[in-house]
Structure 1
C-alpha cells in the first residue's frame, strides 16, 4: 500500500516537472532568432529607416502652410509656400496655372532639385524655365527645398545613404493631396541628378504614384554607383557634410559596403521593388553628361525592359548634365507629353 502511494507521488512530481518545462520553452521568443545574414523585419534594426519596407510603412501626412504671392503673369501665379516633414518646416515655390481648373482639380508635380550646395541654395533661383514650361502646360508645380537647403529647417541628409529627402518628397506629395485645388489622384514626380535616386526610391515606397520623370539621374541599383561613379565638381564639403560622412561610415561599419547579396542592402535599392510599381517612368539623359554617366539611365532602362512598367527612355546627343540648348526644349516637350498622357 505504501509502495503504491510512493509510486503515485512520483508520477505526480514527474507530471508537474513536465508542465514546468513545457511552459518554460513555450515562453521562449523564437522571433528573435534569425538565420545568419538575414534581418527579421518584425524587429527594429539599425539604419532601418533607409529601407523601402520601412518607407512603405511610414505615414505621410502634411498640409500646405500659408501661401505668399511671389510673382504673377497671364499663365500662372507663383507662391512662396511651406509644409511639415517630420516636424520640420520645408519651404518651396508653388506655381498654380491661371484659369479654371479641370474637374477634380489640377494635375500636379512635386519637383525635386538636384545637388546644389545647401548654403548656396535659394528657393527662387534655378529651374525657373522648367517650372515655367510645366505650369504653362497646365500643371501645378511644387518645387520643394529639401531639408537643410535655403531656409528649410533640418540638416541636409544627402540622397543615397539617407531617407530624409524621400520623406520630404512624400510629405510634399501628401500636402498637395490635401489641398483643394489639386486632383489627389493625378500627382507625379520630377527629379534631376541626385533626385533620380530620390524619385525612384519614393516611387518604390509609394508604388501607386502614377508617373515620374527623371533627368540625368543617378544611383538606382547601387551596383551602378560602383560601376559608373560620379563626377560632380560643384560638390562643396562642409562641417555638416563631415558629420554626414561619419554617419555613413557607421552604416558601412555595420553592414559593409553595398553588397547585392546582403539582406539589408537588398531592402535599400529601389530596383529590387520594381515588380510592385504601378506608375509609369520616363528617363532623359544626354550622352555628353560629364557629371552623371549615361550608363546609369541605360542600366535602369534595361531593368525596366524586363518588367511590365510603362517606360520611356530618351538619349540626347548634346546638352550636358543640365540639358542646355536644343536638348532642353526637346526634353521638356517629351516630359510634358509624358505627363499629359499619365496625369491628364
Structure 2
C-alpha cells in the first residue's frame, strides 16, 4: 500500500493548498511537483471588517482544488478517446470465453490489459462490459496474467466482457507508475480503457460498469464521476474515504489521529471524489468490505456509504464479519452478489 508515502504526499498537498489559498495566484503544483513560487496576495476585504469574506475564501479554495490534476474538475476537462484494442497475445481459454492480452492507447502510452470475451455471437447491441481495476501491487512485480483471475472468470462466465488494465508503469505498460491518489495517470488509463471498450463492436457502449478492489475502488469511483456513460460500480475493500480521512486516520501511529486545520480539511475534502457524489444522479454503487481488513479499514466503507446517503444516492453495502482484504472467507458469496448486481444494472 505504501501508506506512509501516500500520507506524506497528501500532507504536502494539504500544505500547498493552504499556501495557495493564503497567497492567491500561482500554480499549486508544477509539472515536477515542486512548491509554488511566491505569488501576489489577492485583494482582501477591509481588515477592519468583523466578518471574513467567506465567498472569497470559497472561491480561492475551489480554484486551488481545480488546479490539482487529480481533481474531478481537472479530470472532467480532459478527453479520453481510447483506441482500438490490439491483440498482443492469445491465452488459454476460460470456461466459455476467450482470454487475450491486448493493448490500448492512453495519453500516448501503450497500456496492456487482460481481455475476456464470452463465446458466441453478442446479444443485440453488444455484450455488457466491466472495466476491472486492480488494487496496489508493486509495479515491478505486477504481471498481466497473475492475480484477479477468479474475479474476471466469474463475470466472463456470466456473459460480461471484462478488461483489466495494467495501468502505466505496470508490467509491460509504458509510462511511469505515479500512484493512484495524487497522480491522475491511473485514472486516465481507466477512463481510456472504458473508451476503448466503447469502440469495440462486440460491446454495448450503453452497458458499461466498473469493478474495483482496494486502490482500484478509488480509481473506479473517480472514473464514474468523470464519465457519465459508466452505469454502475462494485467496489471491494476500497480506499474510498475522503482525503481528509485518509490523511488523519489511515495508519496513524499508535492510533493517534492526526490533526488538520479547518481550511486544509476542507481542501482535502473537495479534492476527493466523495465531495461530488450527488453527480452520480442515481447510478448505483455496491460496496463489499471485511471487518478484519488490515490494509484498508472497514470504516472507509462506512464513510463512503454515509457520504452517498448524504448526497441522496442509494448504496448497496455488504459487511463481512472477520474477513480480510481479499474477502477470502466469502469470495464465492461476494462474487455472486457482484455478478447479480451487474446483471440488474447493466
Residues 44 and 63 from structure 1, CA distance in 2 versus in 1: closer, same or farther, beyond 3 angstroms?
farther
What are the superposed Cα offsets for residues 56-101 of structure 1, whole Å, 9 maximum, x if unpaired? Answer: 1211101233213212244100011011110111100000011221
Following TM superposition, by how much is the alpha carbon of 1:37 offset from its aligned partner in structure 2, in angstroms? Answer: 6.6
Q: Which moved more, 1:173-182 or 1:191-200?
A: 191-200
Contact 2:240 2:304 in 1 (8 A): no
Tell me, in whole angstroms, the C-alpha distance in 1 between the residues paired with 2:305 and 2:66. Answer: 32
The corresponding residue for 1:324 is: 328
Alignment of 1:107-146 (within 5 A): 107-146=128-167
Highest CA radius of gyration, 1 or 2? 1
What are the superposed Cα offsets for residues 165-200 of structure 1, whole Å, 9 maximum, x if unpaired? Answer: 111100000000011000001110111111111111
Alignment of 1:298 with 2:302, yes or no, is yes
What are the superposed Cα offsets for residues 31-63 of structure 1, whole Å, 9 maximum, x if unpaired? Answer: x9794574497x899953121111112111012
The corresponding residue for 2:34 is: none
Give the aligned CA root-mean-square deviation in angstroms: 2.5
Match of 1:223 among 244, 264, 274: 244
Tell me, in whole angstroms, the C-alpha distance in 2 between the residues paired with 1:94 and 1:311. Answer: 28
Match of 2:76 among 56, 67, 85: 56
Alignment of 1:176 with 2:176, yes or no, is no
Kindly tell me the number of residue pairs found equivalent between the two proteins: 285
The corresponding residue for 1:205 is: 226
Contact 2:128 2:208 in 1 (8 A): yes
The corresponding residue for 2:26 is: none
Contact 2:133 2:211 in 1 (8 A): yes
Alignment of 1:259 with 2:264, yes or no, is yes
Residues 94 and 217 from structure 1, CA distance in 2 versus in 1: closer, same or farther, beyond 3 angstroms?
same
Tell me, in whole angstroms, the C-alpha distance in 1 between the residues paired with 2:227 and 2:247. Answer: 27
Tell me, in whole angstroms, the C-alpha distance in 1 between the residues paired with 2:184 and 2:262. Answer: 17
SS of 1:259 mapped into structure 2 = helix
Tell me, in whole angstroms, the C-alpha distance in 1 between the residues paired with 2:65 and 2:248. Answer: 29
Tell me, in whole angstroms, the C-alpha distance in 2 between the residues paired with 1:298 and 1:267. Answer: 19
Tell me, in whole angstroms, the C-alpha distance in 2 between the residues paired with 1:187 and 1:259. Answer: 36
Alignment of 1:28-39 (within 5 A): 35=56, 38-39=59-60
Alignment of 1:342 with 2:329, yes or no, is no
Alignment of 1:273 with 2:276, yes or no, is yes
Q: TM-score, normalised by structure 2?
A: 0.76
| Deviant stretches of 4+, over 6 Å | 43-46
Contact 1:77 1:96 in 2 (8 A): yes
Contact 2:290 2:325 in 1 (8 A): yes
SS of 1:189 mapped into structure 2 = strand
The corresponding residue for 2:3 is: none
SS of 1:71 mapped into structure 2 = coil
SS of 2:129 mapped into structure 1 = strand
Structure 2: stretches of 5+ with no match in the other structure = 1-41, 45-55, 253-260
Contact 1:118 1:148 in 2 (8 A): yes
